[in-house]
Amino acid sequence: MAGPISRQTGPLKKPKDAKKTLGRILGYMMEYRIRLIMVVFAIIIGAGAGVAGTYFLKPLINNYIIPLIGVPDPDLSGLAAFLGMMAAVYMVGVLSTYAYSRWMIQIATGTLYKIRTELFTKLQKLPIPYHDGHTHGELMSRFTNDTDTLREMLSQGVPQLISSGITLIGVFTMMLILSPLLTLLVIGMVIVMFLVITRIGKRTSTYFRKQQEAIGKVNGYVEEMIEGQKVVKVFTRETSVKAEFSVLNENLRSAATEAHTFANVLMPIMANLSYILYALIAVTGAGLAIAGSMDLGTIASFLQYTRSFGHPITQVAQLFNSVLNALAGAERVFAMIDETPEEDDGVVTLVQLDAPDGWAWNCPMEDCKENFVPLRGDVRFHDVTFSYDGKKTVLDDVSLFAKPGQKIALVGSTGAGKTTVTNLINRFYDVPEGKITYDGIPLNHIKKQDLRRSLAMVLQDTHLFTGTVRENIRYGNLTADDDAIVAAAKLANAHFFIKHLPQGYDTVITADGANLSQGQRQLLAIARAAVADPPVLILDEATSSIDTRTEALIEKGMDQLMEGRTVFVIAHRLSTVRNADAILVLEHGKVIERGNHEELLAAKGKYYQLYTGMFELE
């Protein structure tokens, strides 16, 4: 029989509704209902074979061994035949165990495949606020820790629980048949075993919970220090970092010591109790045999049952907590699957026309002036008020407009609401007060997927996927051919450095572009936006990681990229701000100034102060 599954893979938590969660898991497994029946049948055969094989010791000794003692030239054919029959029974048990273990692994992996697929699909549909409210590690734990505990429960825990339960029932029944008196001794020792298991198990779960909390803190600290290693070295904080880690590591050592002390002491205690029980049965049985009340075969069978009775009890006790922990993990997985997906009540879609303009909004609503509204990139905010948490206002009665082809720069201090404006344009969040229109159509009437197809965004924090340079650029437009990719790279001035990579456009990017400089990664992000060829472009500090020389080189390319498009720029670089058709100055969620570079300088307001400060820094 396979050993018990690992004690814990996460903090020990009891499921809120174990019955409902187990029923839901069974719902995923119904595809394998025939194989599940075969698994149960094989478990019964395997456990039954073990119980029957032990009982065969009685006739073996009484009928085939004792009668042959002292007999000259004994006939061993009957003994050999009986041993062959016992071997066949045990072989059936071995084959049954192998069969149900293999089938259960197939069922478990197939079930988890469906659950992970559904979980990942839901992850793509969850709104941005959900991701903002949950850490990456928390979401990742659903795919790792929680699914791992569920896999172990399905592939090992459940079969072992069923097998142990059947074995316990079978062994107990056979012991009653063999000797009710000796069975009373077993029951008394079982009560003692349960008291020990309950006492130690309670202490063990407490310390395992502390250990898992300590592991989480150590892992989080190590991950943070690895990511911030440059900062640690720049400020020579190696000593203090090591001291902090030592404290966390000592807490983990202490909790792990206590947890495993109580966990590891359980098996020796149970083993010794079983030895004591074995000795009591042997002594009592010997007395009964001497008195003529019991034969040697019965004693041998009963002693063997005694040895096999304690193991299932210990195994059930150990598996019980693991199964509860797995069900709690499954609840967390199902809770994420049951999260409300990103709502989208938009009805306006983006369609491609044969006309020279190419794209238009298909507007089926009655208040649309025409069924097909040309996609031009006219974006307007009408008295928009917005808050992320419903408490702190980020945008306060903001009105602004960007006509098709205009370049709008958003400037202001940190927290003024610049990035929030771009988040609302993308419908990452919907506005509770006011209205945003896109080509005259209320933004919330446009389907989010179609809206985002008409936009391209270059963020300050560039994310590159594992794959080739070509594939990362093509991410902006999956239908783009190689010529379009090269043209986009040239537009972003990325072509030159790409050609000098080891395999050019086929160079594989790993670890989020760790083999590229920050500026090169930013250029690829700009090329990705260029290949998308959208009418509206959002640049959120897009050139922040590019040096002055590189920025000068791509300025012409950026101008070409922005030509004829509505562009929203969040930047502090003067070259980006100066060329804007309109500059909006935000302060505390309000637009306090609007105008071009010269007009705002002449007004000598907030922009003048910002510009002067930037100029001095330059």
The answer to whether 526 and 541 have CB atoms below 8 angstroms apart is: no
- Average confidence score pLDDT of the chain: 82
Please, are residues 99 and 40 in contact by the beta-carbon 8 Å criterion?
Answer: no
pLDDT digits (tens, 9 = 90+) for 534-582: 888 888 876 665 666 666 655 665 676 777 788 888 876 655 677 788 9
- Global pTM reads 0.73
Which parts of 56-135 fold into alpha helices (H)? 57-59, 77-125, 128-132
Contact yes or no for 108/28 (Cβ under 8 A): no
* 358-416 pLDDT per residue, tens: 788 888 877 677 778 888 889 999 999 999 887 888 999 999 999 988 889 888 877 78
How far apart, in whole angstroms, are the C-alpha atoms of residue 553 and residue 522?
Answer: 14
Q: Is 383 helix (H, G, I), strand (E, B) or coil?
A: strand
What is the signed CA dihedral for 154, 157, 161, 163, rounded to 10 degrees?
A: 80
pLDDT tens for 29-70 read 888 989 999 999 999 999 899 888 888 888 888 888 888 887
What pLDDT score does 4 carry?
37
Whether residue 135 is predicted with pLDDT greater than 60 in this model: the reply is yes
pLDDT 10s digits, 253-303:
888 887 777 667 777 777 788 788 888 888 988 888 888 888 888 888 888
Per-residue pLDDT tens digits for 469-526: 999 999 888 888 999 999 999 888 889 889 989 899 999 987 767 778 877 888 888 8
User: In terms of DSSP bridges, do strands 590-595 and 582-587 run parallel, antiparallel, or are they unpaired?
Assistant: antiparallel
CA distance 259 to 109: 30
Asked if domains 1-178+328-342 and 374-617 share a fold, the reply is: no
Instruction: Tell which CATH classification among 3.40.50.300, 3.40.50.12240, 3.40.630.30, 3.40.50.2300 matches the domain 374-617.
Output: 3.40.50.300
95 pLDDT tier (thresholds 50, 70, 90): very high
Residue 132 burial (C-beta neighbours within 10 Å; 0-12, 13-18, 19+): exposed
pLDDT confidence band for 345 (50 / 70 / 90)? confident
Ranges of each domain in the chain: 1-178+328-342, 180-293, 374-617
pLDDT of res. 437: 92
User: Cβ of 157: how many Cβ atoms within 10 Å?
Assistant: 25
CATH T-level assignment (fold) for domain 1-178+328-342? ABC transporter transmembrane region fold (1.20.1560)
